[in-house]
Amino acid sequence: MSDALYLSLWYPNLRLAALAEKLTAVLGEFAGHGGEARVYAATVWPVSWSESPVLQHVYGRGERGAEPRQAVEYALELLHEDYAYEFQIGWSLWELETAPNLDSRWVREPRLVRVTGFGPLFDEGTYEQEGHIRIDFGTDAPFLDEEGELDALAARHVEENVRQLVELTAAVEKGSGATARLLWSELGESLAQRLAARLGMRN
């Protein structure tokens, strides 16, 4: 069963004024690791996820997107300790495409990843559990392909996706100066353990 996959990043003694620099650094690493260079959309959430956004701006894909620094500066003009700042950016992975009456095939498709920076008071200090910055990668299916048969081709594409994830994770940690990181899932299961079990089934 697929699960949502996240990466949480923490920074020592992070001041709210420095959040823009960290977000810009994280977003800037995507282009070098299978992602797009420009931000698709920005949303600012006040107080908690149950509130309506105070700002939503869709820039668009490709050249219509905003440079990370431009998108971050625009959103963080509304800088408050109890706000969260969410940015969507494209990231391409190998995914198994299935259609009725057609053979399944692997295609490299972009998905929208959410990068969120949390003010210290947002949602009662959610950053303590989920990081000063959290990356929501969406479903973990491309890293496991648990629905299909893991043949040599599938295993190669899964391996490429995992390598891309590992490289991006290391790059955003180093590029933004994070001192702690955690790759986690909503169900609390370890991606590494599930992947090892999946690959073990093939051998």
- Measured distance between the N- and C-terminal CA atoms of the chain, rounded to whole angstroms: 21
* Ramachandran bin of 136, using left for φ above 0, alpha for ψ from -120 to 50, beta for the remaining angles: beta
For residues 117, 120, 123, 125, the Cα torsion angle rounded to the nearest 10 degrees is 120
Give pLDDT, residue 148.
63
Nearest to 31 by CA among 5, 59, 69: 69
Give pLDDT, residue 179.
96
Give pLDDT, residue 150.
74
Q: What is the sign, positive or negative, of the torsion defined by CA atoms of 121, 126, 131, 133?
A: negative
Three-state SS at 46? strand
Q: Which contiguous run of DSSP H or E holds residue 158?
A: helix 152-176
Q: What is the mean pLDDT of residues 127-148?
A: 89
When the pLDDT of each residue in the chain is averaged and rounded to a whole number, the result is 91
Q: What is the mean pLDDT of residues 55-73?
A: 96
- pLDDT tens digits, 113-125: 999 999 999 999 9
Burial 48-58 (b: 16+ CB within 10 A, else e): eeeeeeeeeee
- pLDDT tens digits, 175-203: 999 999 999 987 776 676 766 666 665 44
- pLDDT tens digits, 18-60: 999 999 999 999 999 999 999 999 999 999 999 999 999 999 9
User: Domain residue spans in the chain?
Assistant: 4-202
CA distance 203 to 191: 19
Give pLDDT, residue 141.
87
CA distance 98 to 3: 19
Q: What's the residue count for the chain?
A: 203
